[in-house]
Structure 1
Amino acid sequence: MDPNEKLDNFYTAVIDSATAQSIEIIEDYKKTLQKIYNERKQAAQKKAQNTYQIETDNIIREKNRRLSGDILESKRKVLEKTSLLTDKIFKDVRKKLDAYMKSPAYVKYLSNKIAEAYEFARGEEIIIYINPSDEALKSVLEKITGVNLTISNRDFMGGIRAVIPSRTILIDHSFTTKLSEQKETFRLH
């Protein structure tokens, strides 16, 4: 082989070797870049997923907070309306009660409650009170029941109250108590 051929062979071998090395270096560089790209892509995706989750949780919390506020506001409005309606109903009840207290049925009701209280005492001392507004009915009721009655110094709207001192018992058939019990029961439903 002549020197030019040797040089050509050498040149070809060097170029082939350099090309192979450069291809290998480029491939290693590509692999390294691909690895860095994949790592950064995963990190970016993880960060995006975390941000997405945080923002989703924030939106859910905000929605729940607003929903709770709306629910509380609705409950407040319902309670306010219920209270207004309850007051209106009990004002109507009070008017009907006032009308009832002017009827003969009221005298019969009082005489029955007085008789019940007197029977309950079984001969022991009993003080039966009627409301100050019923003072005009005192003599009629005493005639009907045969029981001495006392005018209360406290207004209890109507009905009777009785005390058996020896047994420390209070019998309360007052309209104030019955009305407040009904109002309380009414509000609980």
Structure 2
Amino acid sequence: MEQARAEGNAIIDSHREALDKVFEDHKAEALRQSETRIKAETTNAKLALNQALAKSQLEIKRKQGKIQQELKDKIFEEAQDLIHAFMKTEAYDDFLIRCIRSAVRFAGTDPVTVYINLSDEKKKTALEDATQVHLSVSAEDFIGGVRSVIRSRNILIDNSFQTQLKDQYDKFIFEGGDGIG
């Protein structure tokens, strides 16, 4: 009996050891699978977060660009108002005279055609008297200033406010702190 009991206990111990080993293997496999699942879910969560972040950054940049464009347009509208106010001063007349004289000096002996803006047509006689240059009134509105053409050299001297405003508008970029610009 004792021998049978000892054999039975040995079989039970052996079976228990086998079950413990199977249990430990199963536990280790379950742990590996859960770690793999956690890594995969973490990766998916990071990817989703990065996508949401990129989408929101794109939306912020889009809104920022729209606001900057609105501000830029407003700035240049104000600049145009200031130009129109300047055009009513004596300093503007002096500016026109300097531009006309500069174009004539640059042309030298070559014939030059000097155009003033249609809005300055009333000043034509006074400008011609001041510069001794025959002026033409442009059919195209270029806001103000002077355009001069030296046809023999295919040269356009463009001192028009329209061109200068457009050049500045095209170059204008907002710059500032916090990565704006």
Deviations 1:139-183 (A, max 9, x none): 111111122211112111011111222221221111111111222
Q: Distance in 1 between matches of 2:64 and 2:53?
A: 16
Say whether 1:120 aligns with 2:106: yes
Corresponding position of 1:87: 73
Q: Distance in 2 between matches of 1:115 and 1:92?
A: 29
Say whether 1:137 aligns with 2:123: yes
| Match among 65, 73, 82 for residue 96 of structure 1 | 82
Q: Distance in 2 between matches of 1:137 and 1:41?
A: 98
Q: Which consecutive residues of structure 2, in runs of 5 or more, have no partner in the other structure?
A: 176-181
Return the offset for 1:136: 1.1
Please say if residues 68 and 174 of structure 2, whose CA atoms lie closer than 8 Å, have aligned partners that are also in contact. no
DSSP-derived class of the 2:92 partner: helix
Q: Which consecutive residues of structure 1, in runs of 5 or more, have no partner in the other structure?
A: 1-14
Return the offset for 1:188: 5.4
| Match among 105, 114, 127 for residue 91 of structure 2 | 105
DSSP-derived class of the 2:133 partner: coil
| Match among 21, 31, 34 for residue 45 of structure 1 | 31
Please say if residues 128 and 134 of structure 2, whose CA atoms lie closer than 8 Å, have aligned partners that are also in contact. yes
Q: Distance in 2 between matches of 1:66 and 1:54?
A: 18
Return the offset for 1:16: 3.2
Q: Normalising by the residue count of structure 1, what TM-score does the alignment of the two structures yield? A: 0.85
Corresponding position of 1:16: 2
Corresponding position of 1:163: 149
Corresponding position of 2:137: 151
* RMSD of equivalent CA atoms: 1.6
1:120 partner letter: F
2:34 partner letter: A
More helix by share: 1
Please say if residues 114 and 136 of structure 2, whose CA atoms lie closer than 8 Å, have aligned partners that are also in contact. yes
Q: Distance in 1 between matches of 2:5 and 2:111?
A: 127
